[in-house]
Amino acid sequence: MFRTTRETKETRVSVELTLDGTQTIDNQTGLPFLDHMLDQLAFHAGWDLTVHAEGDLEVDEHHTVEDVALTLGAVLQEAWRERSGGFVRYGQRWLPMDDALVLAAVDFSGRPYCDVDLGLTRDAVGGIAAEMWDHFFESLATAATITLHIKRERGRNSHHVVEATFKAVARAFREALARTEQSTSTKGSL
């Protein structure tokens, strides 16, 4: 299990992560829809995940969403680097959810980059500003030092698009972090 805490004047976030878990999940961020999305991420990735956050939600959700992503990313980086050399490295997943179809592709490379194209049509999804969903994944990828591409191919319902995104990312993570004896890089290490 890997764990870390992030404390600022705006938030306090603690995360515990086990990659090869039993889907023991306890997410409490003060934002019910974010909790639901983190539950989906952990369940579909096969992780044990506990995220507890307290933030200045009276201001808005930005600091909490961002700091949850940064803290989760930091723990994820620690976990995948511990596994370095013994995992597949690349993962991709098309995931349908009703009207939504989303592609997620990841490279656990140590090179942070994120390109997100969700094309959300609502101002907010689950009480969280639509722009924050892109920002969540950008913050996660940066802190985890991974390359992450996400593209909405189809989807009219923004809730379905966001949920399909979390599930697609989770399944791509699960594929990429699967154990293997083969080298993950022609360089010999990441």
- Residue 186 confidence (pLDDT) above 60: no
User: pLDDT (tens digit, 9 = 90+) per residue, 31-89?
Assistant: 999 999 999 999 999 999 999 999 999 999 999 999 999 999 999 999 999 986 689 99
Contacts of 127 (CB under 8 A, 6+ apart): 31, 32, 33, 61
The CATH number of the structural domain formed by 2-176 is: 3.30.230.40
- Residue 183 confidence (pLDDT) above 80: no
**Quick one: pLDDT at residue 180?**
87
Q: Are strands 25-28 and 11-18 parallel, antiparallel or unpaired?
A: unpaired
**Quick one: pLDDT at residue 185?**
58
What whole-number distance in Å separates Cα of residue 172 and Cα of residue 148?
A: 10
User: pLDDT (tens digit, 9 = 90+) per residue, 87-137?
Assistant: 999 999 999 999 999 999 999 999 999 999 999 999 999 999 999 999 999
